[in-house]
Amino acid sequence: MAGRRILVSWIGHTDLKAMAFAVAAGQSKAVRKIVGEGDAKAGVGPVKSLLDNESFDEVHLIADYAPAATKEYAAWLGGNTKLHQVSLDNPANHAEILRAVRPILETLKKRKSNQLAFHLSPGTPQMAAIWILLGKSQYPATMYQTYGGEATKTEIPFDITTDVLPDLLREPDRYWQHLATRTPQEVSGFESIVGESEAIRAAVGRAQRAAIHDVPVLILGESGTGKEMFAEAIHRASHRGNQKIVSINCAAISRELLESELFGHVKGAFTGADTDRKGAFEEADGGTLFLDEVGECDLAMQAKLLRALQPPPGQGPCHRVFRPVGATKDKAADVRIIAATNKDLSAAITAGEFREDLMYRLSIVTLKLPPLRQRVADIAQIAKSMLIDINERLKQQAGASYQDKSISADTILFMQRYPWPGNVRELSNALVQASMMADGKTLKPQDIAAAVAEFPSAKSDDLLSLPLGGDFVLETHLLDIQRHFLRRAMLEADGKVTKAAKLLGYKNYQTLSAQLDRLGVDFEKELGA
């Protein structure tokens, strides 16, 4: 079913002037107070010129002139015209104009089938600029201009959400580094993220910038780095934060059922489909859909996802069209997509396992989460925060027989030295197990060591435990140890040589730079940064 064509336009001075000299004398006193006597050859004005050339189901006129004049103009224009009276102290103030038009557009946007059109000609240049910005981003619209009684559709040869924002958000830190000065607890929506390291501050700063724009976000990171937690934080920090977020783990659902989980199905679509069922896209309408482990989708599912993620021409970046399993008609929903994977999608594309066009559709903004080994400074804070919750849960289960656990300083040091291949999830599991198995009230290094030894994911990188004899060469392993700490310092310093040199106790960054070159540790060097 075709949507209703809705024109939204300011009433300009020229429009009122045209009406003043088109009606019989004495019928436009309110307008004449505004436009004066002037030239009687005023034409029909921009708005009527457009309506003489194009047809619309509704016309919404916005005006900051005297109500008596604008009501007279709307009556003169006729048709299905709705008048929105606003008050502007300065019609050249962009912020004021935006505040005036946004509530009107939000009301019109609620009817998803509406096809908006903005008229650029009436009003001030600042009003036209706001129409262009909104029409190419949050409120997709066709734009018109009129001149000499002729109306033309205006093509704006760029898309803010897909052409401009990705470049801004992928640029170096200068665009968003100021956000890294705040801890996650100081950033609205990200309060549940624990840590104060530069790596996590930078990730939160970038995520916050992505949150305020209605574009797909692809979260990359190793297993256990908190991708779902970041997805939920991005949702909370967005304008959709009071709507639903629906999460689907693409790796945990069989290939046969995943399509139904995402798009829904109709009764009788397959064995067991006893009733119609909404899918995740429809459930998340107005909110956010989080596709976890999206890299695990097979190629057939990727093709169906790509179709749903490609907005039709003239629609916004979150307009999704999909077809439930067994249905004969498409459905539409307004859904912001956040996807995540621990898979190397570039390698998967090369291997023919992942569609390149789907990756680019998902990754308008890319957010890479740091592994825990790059957040050594956060480990103590994360562990202590987790232990509060663990103590509470275990006390509820075991009652008075359970004693609250604390962490000793040497245990913190042990945890900071351990590589945590399973990241925050492994740390949490280790703390739970150690808390249940420890004899005393204080967790000791051996309690954590015993817990991590149980995890098959744990990889031993302890160079001090290598067996002697055979091919063992001390000098070689000493160099390996040196490379390990150089690399770790560079990771913790986010690639900044000066900061890494201080972490290692070097007196100047030149010494570290020489060591990096000598030992072949590759990093982008920001000398003196």
Are 277 and 259 a contacting pair, CB within 8 Å?
Answer: no
Rounded Cα distance, 114 and 122, in Å: 22
Q: What's residue 482's pLDDT?
A: 84
Rounded Cα distance, 516 and 134, in Å: 49
Three-class SS of residue 320? strand
* Number of neighbouring beta carbons within 10 Å of residue 49: 24
* Number of neighbouring beta carbons within 10 Å of residue 457: 14
Three-class SS of residue 77? helix
* Token pair for 311: 């907005």
Pairing of strands 115-119, 5-10: parallel
Q: What's residue 401's pLDDT?
A: 85
Rounded Cα distance, 281 and 305, in Å: 11
Distances in whole angstroms, Cα of residue 203 to Cα of each of 375, 380, 501? 12, 19, 23
Share of the chain above pLDDT 90, in %: 41
521 against 472, higher pLDDT:
521
Are 143 and 120 a contacting pair, CB within 8 Å?
Answer: yes
Q: What is the mean pLDDT of residues 435-457?
A: 81
Distances in whole angstroms, Cα of residue 2 to Cα of each of 112, 314, 382? 11, 13, 53
Tens of pLDDT along 271-311? Answer: 888 899 999 999 999 999 999 999 999 999 999 999 999 88
Helix then strand then coil, % of the chain, to nearest 5: 45, 15, 40
* Token pair for 423: 């990241």
Say if residue 393's pLDDT is above 50: yes
* b/e 311-320 (16+ beta carbons within 10 angstroms → b): beeebbbbbb
Three-class SS of residue 103? helix
110 against 306, higher pLDDT:
306
Tens of pLDDT along 303-343? Answer: 999 999 988 877 778 899 999 999 999 999 999 999 999 99
